[in-house]
Structure 1
Amino acid sequence: MKKLLFSLLISVSAFAQVDKVEPPFWWNDMTLSDVQIMFYGKNIAQNEVTVSNGIIIKGIQKTENPNYLFVTIETKNSPAQDFVFTFKNGKKSFTQNYSLKARRENSRFRKSYDSSDVIYLLMPDRFANGNPNNDNNVALTEKMDRSKDNGRHGGDIEGIIKNLDYIQSLGATAVWPTPLCEDNDERGSYHTYGQSDVYKIDARFGTNEDYVRMSAELHKRGMKNIMDYVTNHWGWQHWMYKDLPTHDWVHQFPEFTNSNYRMTTQFDPNASERDAQYCMDGWFVKSMPDLNQSNPLVLNYLTQNAIWWIEYADLDGFRVDTYSYNDKVGIAKWTKAITDEYPHFNIVGEVWMQDQAQMAYWQKDSKIGAIQSYNSYLPSVMDFTLYNALEKVFNEDKGEWDKGMIRVYDNLANDFLYPNINNILIFAENHDTNRINQAYKNDFKKYQMAMTILATMRGIPQLYYGSEIAMAGDKGKGDGDIRHDFPGGWNSDTNNAFTKAGRTEEQNKFYDFTAKIFNWRKTKDVIHFGKTTHYVPENNVYVYFRYNEKESVMVVVNNSNEKQTFKTNRFQENLKNYKSGKDVLSDVSFDLKNDISIEGKSVLVLELK
């Protein structure tokens, strides 16, 4: 009996050498059939490794850190099954179970988001607290404190799930929460861009199982789940950063070195190599170690992690943070590997630049990138130049050569630079910018104009939580001011803006308009995939048409303060044989043979008959 107990103790002690296995499991029938499994534990590299059930080990890689062992297995033609790794060092041995799971039917060809969708961007910590029991966690440092703008406020996955009907009522068809994986920073961890474990949902948001349930609840409603993925950096509390597999897992400098943030160095033919390196390899901020995607182990780890989340949580797309700060060759390989596995999977990259040619460089199959024999394979980019126009244009009451609606017109004049103009993300604000209602001092008419453009323009529109109920916020006062709690998301809130009865009159005015225009958009193929013809603005009035072979929509935006009347014969090439147009907002019909009048600071969205 003593001998048996002693044997069991040795076995338990040896088993404890495996502290982490990543990916924790995989799937059969994957295009990426060679899976590199990372085993982490004290001196684990000292062991020889074998595996059961006829699984083939294709490679074993050790690094300078003996606590890591990277084992590549071949899963091609293997059935879904459980099998066992055996680790042996002399006479001592221990085992680790592993699983290949069956994929969902047709998983490879899952449909992603596209220009038929409307994306609702929210910050989980600030949206709704659906489960107060997970507000704090003993293993995580920062605790809930709603009195701090930069603190954790308690919003979670359950809060999102409980309010999916509200999000859907706005006409949104996809949800983009900012990152949900664990972030154990001492301060400011609520935004979760400094992740400490990329295989684990932050316990203050919920569990991995809660995240899978959120996807399922979205899919029940015909909605899509977009994960905010970070490839450029982790947080300084990431468990791996505390015991790096290799010295060059992150970019190292003799002393802390920031990125120079000059993304133009990534394609500037005149840029110095030093400047290009400091853009890519410098750290975004001091608390975010910069990942080295040129290291094959790092790149493979990030690729498998991304694919694991897609398959595990049944994801519908990615938004990738700080895309153009990554190693440009490495991030292209990462993106291609994902879209090779999932040919219809959409990924939008944050490329925060001020020039359309520079942004178009990063979209898949860009002719601009091809000049330098570069292809990012990135399906979508964010239209920051349209955002730049929308944040100021409606305060410019008089149309001038370079002010007023010409800003929007000029933005679309460069659409030819993009290889796929319908597949770019358009927005008036996000979690890093001034809120649109702050820029326009909650002027409802200006909000109407901005949202109408988003609802009728080419591309994929993205809304930012709370603006539909007139939430404002000043970036100049800090990020906390543009990331307020959604009223009604906490039991103690007196104003519950998730319900009509709980909203104020002003909140309902903003909500009703937003819901009307974006629910109308839902069924409009002419808006989703139609062509665009626009006309040079006159008197600060901008007119454009969205059309296909079956229908046409005429959009009129009067950005002047005065009522404007214009003749319709100027637009004959688009009006053709159409005789009337019915405004989808007011239900008023217009005779297209007559002049059209439009009030100051207002819009018309005319379905042509």
Structure 2
Amino acid sequence: MDYKKTLRLCAFARILKLATILLFTSVTFAQIDRVEPSFWYTGMNLSSVQIMFYGKNIAQYDVTISNNVAIENIKKTENPNYVFVTIDTKNVAASELTFSFKSKNKVAFTKKYELKARRENSKFRKSYDSSDMIYLIMSDRFANGNPNNDSDKSLTEKVDRSNPSGRHGGDIEGIIKNLDYIKELGATAVWPTPLCEDNDARGSYHTYGQSDVYKVDSRFGTNEDYLRLSAELHKRGMKNIMDYVTNHWGWQHWMYKDLPTYDWVHQFPGYSQSNYRMTTQFDTNASAIDARNCMDGWFVPSMPDLNQSNPLVLKYLIQNAIWWIEYADLDGFRVDTYSYNDKDGISKWTKAITDEYPNFNIVGEVWMHDQAQMAYWQKDSKIGAIESYNSYLPSVMDFTLHDALEKVFNEDKGEWDKGMIKIYDNFTNDFLYPNISNILVFAENHDTNRFNAAYKKDFKKYQMAMTLLATIRGIPQLYYGSEIGMDGDKSKGDGDIRHDFPGGWGGDRINAFTKTGRTEEQNKFYDFTSKLFNWRKSAAVIHSGKMMHYVPENNVYVYFRYNEKQTVMVVINNSNETQTFKTKRFAQSIQNYQTGNDILSGKTIDLKNDIALEGKSVLVLELK
């Protein structure tokens, strides 16, 4: 054979072989589009891990795994683009595993999968509790730390600060840059509204309609930025609370566009709106159709309602939550629309997380207006036990207190059912809760009218509300901007209660993040809030002490927080006039104490004499 011709044939053969390899490789990569969770951890209580592989017609392959790891189950659904492989990771060391996808006993392609080592003592991580004050941030509206990520060509909605319902550019970097401001305020934990991707064409800034629950929205930053936020909080002795959504995703979620199973979301068929009647979850007289329409109906048309009664869905949500805790080193959850979930499914979800992390706190949004109905949802509720139900939810939100705070400081005269009696009556029902110290107390949040709008920035009324939140049982939560007098009217739309924090954007006329940048009025609000909540940080008697209160007289409410070592007396005069009262009425609580030091003014009050307190003002007395 001609030597040159032989060389040409050999070269052609090598090129053909290379082309075949490249073609096969491209097919291989195309075969798996997603793996969720993308990695897992060793030493977990949840050692049985369901790994979802997604790719075109991937169900046609048989699956095996390396390292003698046991496959417990392989689930293929009616959609050939999914395979759910459950493996047992118990006693498996941190390592790299290999999944092999075979056709006719021949390996078509492989996929590496990593089992990582957990952080030391991760299981027993400390969470937030009644010693904390939580600062709630509307993530898109707090501060724009990185203008370069304001828009993303891969995501539909672009930045538009002129649109109250548009994206404004707030991000994780903006939160990180202002953590010292938050700490100086007296907050010990931060709750940003959801940070995972939301690719809705409009209103995506609130991020409750998520399109990818394993990925931070690139307009907020990256997953690595979120890890950095946790690390920076922990450096300052602060905690990171993730806003988690179990009830629904957004209609742009990649999985909703190609459902693994028809019943992955609730279908009627298709869309049906929730009736929002959460009472049907426990009403012994409720009809089945009404209960179903609450639990299975969609919150809004753009939020497909997840079916937690489907075991694949439930396991997916449990693993996603645990993955974020472990990956981002989280300190707690707030769960959106908790009481709209499948009742049994959300109970299993919550128990799985608290089994994995026994100290992990989760507060559920149970937006109801009756203490018995809210207490039903707290872990070990005696009310839930009537029907043998336990949600396992450690904490709920005190919406009845919020309801009272919305109106009470405009009720200047103490009547039978108006004025401070509303606050008093709220606490008379504390016996309904199995753990009253672990409920969230607040005057407002990102879904309600702003306190300073309801009371027209009346500083004295703000003082009364914040004093109450700082000294009662539970975990106080402050909504960003209230500490500088920010207001917003819910009737004008959600955008009005979610204004940009002044100074969070380059070129802002006022920078309220600094004392010199704030106006005189803003400093008045800030200085009071900071003094109050920084005092609370070390006030153990407030964190865990008992409470004794006295029926309000003349619209003056007096209560005590006490333990074996300390007593704090709180007086709130909600009338317009100076009120004088005799201390002997409170002898049971004052006991042998002689004086009280007011932590706000620094004045010493003689407890042997009558006390006069001007209208719309407060005293917080450390008794001596």
Pairwise TM-score range, normalised by the shorter structure: over 0.9
Under a length normalisation based on structure 2, what TM-score does the superposition of the two structures give?
Answer: 0.97
Q: Percent identity?
A: 79
Please state how far the C-alpha of 1:89 moved relative to its aligned partner: 1.8
Is 1:521 matched with 2:497? no
Amino acid at match of 2:43: D
TM-score normalized with structure 1 length: 1.00
CA contact (8 A) 1:15 1:96 kept: no
Deviation by residue 1:313-344 (Cα, 9 ceiling, x = unmatched): 00000000000000000000000000000000
Q: 2:292 aligns with which of 264, 271, 277?
A: 277
- 1:3 offset after TM fit, Å? 1.3
Does 2:495 match 1:480? Answer: yes
Paired position in structure 1 for 2:10: none
Residues 141 and 185, structure 1, Cα contact 8 Å, conserved in 2 = yes
Q: CA RMSD in A?
A: 0.6
Residues of 2 paired with 1:14 and 1:449: CA distance?
65
- Structure 1 residue 39 corresponds to structure 2 residue 65: no
Distance 2:524 2:55 in 1: 58
Aligned equivalent of 1:445: 460
Partner SS state of residue 148, structure 1: coil
- Per-residue deviation at 1:15? 2.6
> Equivalents in 1 of 2:107, 2:561: separation in Å?
71
The alpha-carbon deviation at position 126 of structure 1 amounts to: 0.1
Residue correspondence of structure 1 range 91-490 to structure 2 within 5 A: 91=106, 93-490=108-505
Residue from 83, 100, 109 that aligns with 1:69 = 83
- Output the CA distance in 1 between the equivalents of 2:619 and 2:366: 32
In structure 2, give the amino acid aligned to 1:447.
Answer: Y
Q: How far did 1:4 drift? A: 3.1
Gaps of 5+ in 2: 1-13
1:58 to 45, 66, 72: 72
Match of residue 31 from structure 2: 17
1:578 to 593, 597, 600: 593
Of residues 31, 35, 41, the one that matches 1:27 is 41
| CA distance in 2: counterparts of 1:94 and 1:325, whole angstroms | 42
Question: Secondary structure at 2:446's aligned position in 1?
Answer: coil
The residue type paired with residue 15 of structure 1 is F
Please give the secondary structure, in 2, of the residue aligned with 1:16.
Answer: helix
Secondary structure at the counterpart of residue 303 of structure 2: coil
1:3 aligned counterpart, secondary structure: helix
Question: Equivalents in 1 of 2:261, 2:324: separation in Å?
Answer: 24
Q: Which protein has the larger Cα radius of gyration, Structure 1 or Structure 2?
A: 2
Query: Which residue is equivalent to 1:85?
Result: 99
Q: Given residue 489 of structure 1, which amino acid in structure 2 is its aligned partner?
A: G
Q: 1:256: Cα distance to partner?
A: 2.6
| CA shift for structure 1 position 11 | 2.4
- In structure 2, distance between residues paired with 1:8 and 1:140: 31
How much has 1:255 moved relative to structure 2? Answer: 5.0
Structure 1 residue aligned with 2:552: 537
Cα distance in 2 for partners of 1:202, 1:298 equals 22
CA distance in 2, matches of 1:119, 1:305: 24
Letter in 1 for 2:98: V
* AA partner of residue 200 (structure 2): D
**Could you give the per-residue CA deviations for residues 510-557 of structure 1, whole angstroms, max 9, x where no partner exists?**
000000000000001100010000000000000000000000000000
Q: Which residue of 2 aligns with 1:512?
A: 527
Q: Which amino acid aligns with 1:65?
A: N
Query: Separation in 2 of the partners of 1:108 and 1:477?
Result: 45
Secondary structure of the residue that 2:161 maps to in structure 1? coil
Match of 2:18 in 1: 4
Secondary structure in 1 matching 2:74:
strand
User: C-alpha offsets along residues 470-490 of structure 1, whole Å, 9 cap, x if unaligned?
Assistant: 000000000000000000000
Whole-Å Cα distance in 2 between the matches of residues 202 and 413 of structure 1?
44
Deviations 1:108-157 (A, max 9, x none): 00000000000000011000000000000010000000000000000000
Q: Secondary structure at the match of 1:120?
A: strand
More displaced stretch, 382-391 vs 87-96 = 87-96
CA distance in 2, matches of 1:541, 1:116: 27
Rounded Cα–Cα distance in structure 2 between residues aligned with 1:8 and 1:156: 40
Q: CA deviation at 1:88?
A: 1.2
* CA apart distance, 1:257: 1.1
- Helix, strand or coil at the partner of 2:110: strand
Q: Is the 8 A contact 1:428 1:436 kept in 2?
A: yes
One-letter amino acid of the counterpart of residue 35, structure 1? V
What secondary structure does 2:49 align onto? strand
CA distance in 2 between counterparts of 1:18 and 1:8 reads 16
Task: Please give the alpha-carbon distance, in whole angstroms, between the structure 2 residues aligned to 1:88 and 1:432.
Answer: 51
Give the letter aligned to residue 217 of structure 1: E
User: What is the CA–CA distance in structure 1 between the aligned matches of 2:267 and 2:428, rounded to whole Å?
Assistant: 43
- Cα distance between partner residues in 2 of 1:193 and 1:55: 37
Q: Is the 8 A contact 1:15 1:95 kept in 2?
A: no
CA distance in 2 between counterparts of 1:266 and 1:50 reads 43
Conserved? CA contact 1:585–1:604, under 8 Å: yes
- Residue of structure 2 in register with 1:587 after alignment: 602
Residues 530-588 of structure 1 show CA distances to partners (whole Å, capped at 9, x for unaligned) of 00000000000000000000000000000000000000000000000000001000001
Tell me the CA shift for residue 263 of structure 1: 0.3
State the shift of 1:5 in Å.
Answer: 2.9
One-letter amino acid of the counterpart of residue 80, structure 1: A
Query: 1-side partners of 2:269 and 2:103: how far apart?
Result: 38
Q: Report how far residue 166 of structure 1 moved.
A: 0.2
Could you tell me how far 1:92 is from its partner in structure 2?
5.7
- Contact persistence 1:580–1:608 (CA under 8 A): yes
* Cα separation, 2, equivalents of 1:347 and 1:175: 14
SS of the aligned residue for 2:568 comes to: strand
Say whether the 8 Å CA contact 2:100–2:107 is kept in structure 1: no
Whole-Å separation in 2 of the counterparts to 1:297 and 1:277: 20
Q: Deviations over 1:353-381 (max 9, x none)?
A: 00000000000000000001000000000
Q: Distance in 2 between matches of 1:532 and 1:379?
A: 21
Indicate which of 589, 595, 602 corresponds to 2:617.
Answer: 602
The question of whether the paired residues in 1 share the 8 Å contact of 2:368 and 2:374 is answered with yes
Deviation at 1:56, TM superposition (A): 1.2
Q: Give distance in 1, aligned partners of 2:273 and 2:517.
A: 46
Question: 1 CA distance for matches of 2:257 and 2:41?
Answer: 30
| Counterpart contact for 2:578–2:613, Cα < 8 Å | yes
